[in-house]
C-alpha cells in the first residue's frame, strides 16, 4: 500500500489542502493515505498500550478510559498521528458543506487497513459507531456510514458492516464538560440508548468499531460493552484521529 508521492505529477496538494488537490476525485487509497500520514512519526519514548498516545515514563495515559479495568475494548487503532490536520478535514466534512470529502476519508481509511493488513485482517467485522438520526437528532445524517460506504467502494474485500450498533435517541453532548460528567452521560443515558439489533451477526466475532475521533474513550467503552453483551469475542476501536474534546 505505501506509495512514493514524489514522482506523482501533479504532486498531491497536501492533506490539509484536499479541496485543491488534483486527486480529490481521482485518487486511490495508496495516494490519499500516503498523503494523509506523510510526516507522521512514531512518538518518542513510551506510549499507552491501549491507544498509542505518548506518555511520561511510568505515567498513565491522559485518556481516562485507557486505565479502566472494565474498559471492554481491547485497544484503539489511529489512522493519522497529525490530529489537528485530520480534525480540520473531519470538521469540514461534518459541519461544513464538503460532503464529498467522504471519498477522501474513505480512501484514507482503506489505505490504513491495507497498510496494517497483517494485524487488522484478523477482525471479522468493521462497523460504525452508533449515531442517532431520528426526529430528535442533533445531526440528521450518519456521517460515519457515509465514510464507510465510500471505503467499501474502494476496498470491497474488507468486512465493512455499518450499523451493527443502534442508538435509540439523542444523548448529552460531550463537548466542553469534564471527564466525570462524560462518564455519567456514557454510563447513564448512552448505555440505555445502545443496542445490537441482530446479535447473531456479531456472536463469536472480533469487531472493529470505526469512529472519527477518540477523545476520552467513554463512547467506545459503551459500544464495546453492548457488542460483548451480544456475543462478540473482542471489540477494538479504529479512529481517524485522537483528539481531546473532539
The tens digit of pLDDT for each residue in 122-133 reads 999 999 999 998
**Whole-number pLDDT of residue 149:** 97
Average pLDDT over residues 100-115: 95
Position 246 scores a pLDDT of 43
Summarize pLDDT for 202-223 with one digit per residue, the tens.
999 999 999 999 988 999 999 9
| Whether residue 30 has pLDDT greater than 90 | yes
- Residues whose CB falls within 8 Å of the CB of residue 160, separated by 6 or more in sequence, listed in order: 126, 127, 148, 151, 152
Q: Average pLDDT in the 39-59 region?
A: 82
Please report where in the chains the cell 479512529 appears, as a residue. 239
For 185-206, what is the mean pLDDT? 97
* 138-151 mean pLDDT: 91
Which domains occur in the chain, in start order?
Answer: 15-242 (3.40.50)
More confident residue, 20 or 221: 221
For residue 214, the surrounding DSSP H or E stretch is strand 206-214
Give the H/E segment covering residue 212: strand 206-214
pLDDT at position 1 is 59
**pLDDT grade for 243, boundaries at 50, 70 and 90:** confident
Region 151-159 average pLDDT: 97
For residue 156, what is the DSSP state?
T
Name which of 222, 213, 223, 211 is nearest 243 in CA terms.
Answer: 213
Q: Looking at residue 244, what is its pLDDT?
A: 65
Q: Which is more confidently placed, 67 or 151?
A: 151
DSSP 71-85: --S--EEES-S-HHH
Amino acid at each position: 500500500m505505501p506509495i512514493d508521492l514524489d514522482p506523482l505529477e501533479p504532486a498531491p496538494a497536501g492533506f490539509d489542502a484536499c479541496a485543491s488537490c488534483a486527486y480529490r476525485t481521482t485518487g486511490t487509497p495508496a495516494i490519499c493515505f500516503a498523503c494523509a500520514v506523510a510526516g507522521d512519526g512514531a512518538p518518542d519514548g513510551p506510549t499507552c498500550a491501549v491507544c498509542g498516545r505518548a506518555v511520561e515514563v511510568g505515567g498513565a495515559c491522559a485518556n481516562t478510559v485507557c486505565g479502566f479495568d472494565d474498559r471492554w475494548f481491547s485497544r484503539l487503532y489511529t489512522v493519522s498521528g497529525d490530529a489537528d490536520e485530520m480534525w480540520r478535514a473531519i470538521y469540514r466534512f461534518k459541519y461544513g458543506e464538503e460532503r464529498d470529502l467522504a471519498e477522501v476519508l474513505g480512501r484514507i481509511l482503506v489505505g490504513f487497513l491495507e497498510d496494517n493488513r497483517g494485524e487488522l485482517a484478523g477482525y471479522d467485522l468493521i462497523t460504525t459507531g452508533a449515531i442517532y438520526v431520528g426526529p430528535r437528532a442533533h445531526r440528521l445524517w450518519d456521517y460515519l456510514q457515509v465514510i464507510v460506504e465510500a471505503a467499501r467502494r474502494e476496498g470491497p474485500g474488507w468486512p465493512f458492516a455499518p450499523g451493527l450498533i443502534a442508538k435509540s435517541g439523542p444523548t448529552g453532548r460531550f463537548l466542553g464538560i469534564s471527564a466525570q460528567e462524560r462518564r455519567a452521560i456514557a454510563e447513564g443515558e448512552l448505555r440505555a440508548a445502545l443496542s445490537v439489533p441482530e446479535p447473531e451477526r456479531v456472536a463469536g466475532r472480533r469487531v472493529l468499531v470505526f469512529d472519527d475521533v477518540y477523545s476520552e474513550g467513554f463512547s467506545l467503552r459503551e459500544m464495546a460493552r453492548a457488542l460483548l453483551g451480544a456475543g462478540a469475542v473482542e471489540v477494538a476501536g479504529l479512529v481517524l484521529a485522537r483528539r481531546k474534546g473532539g
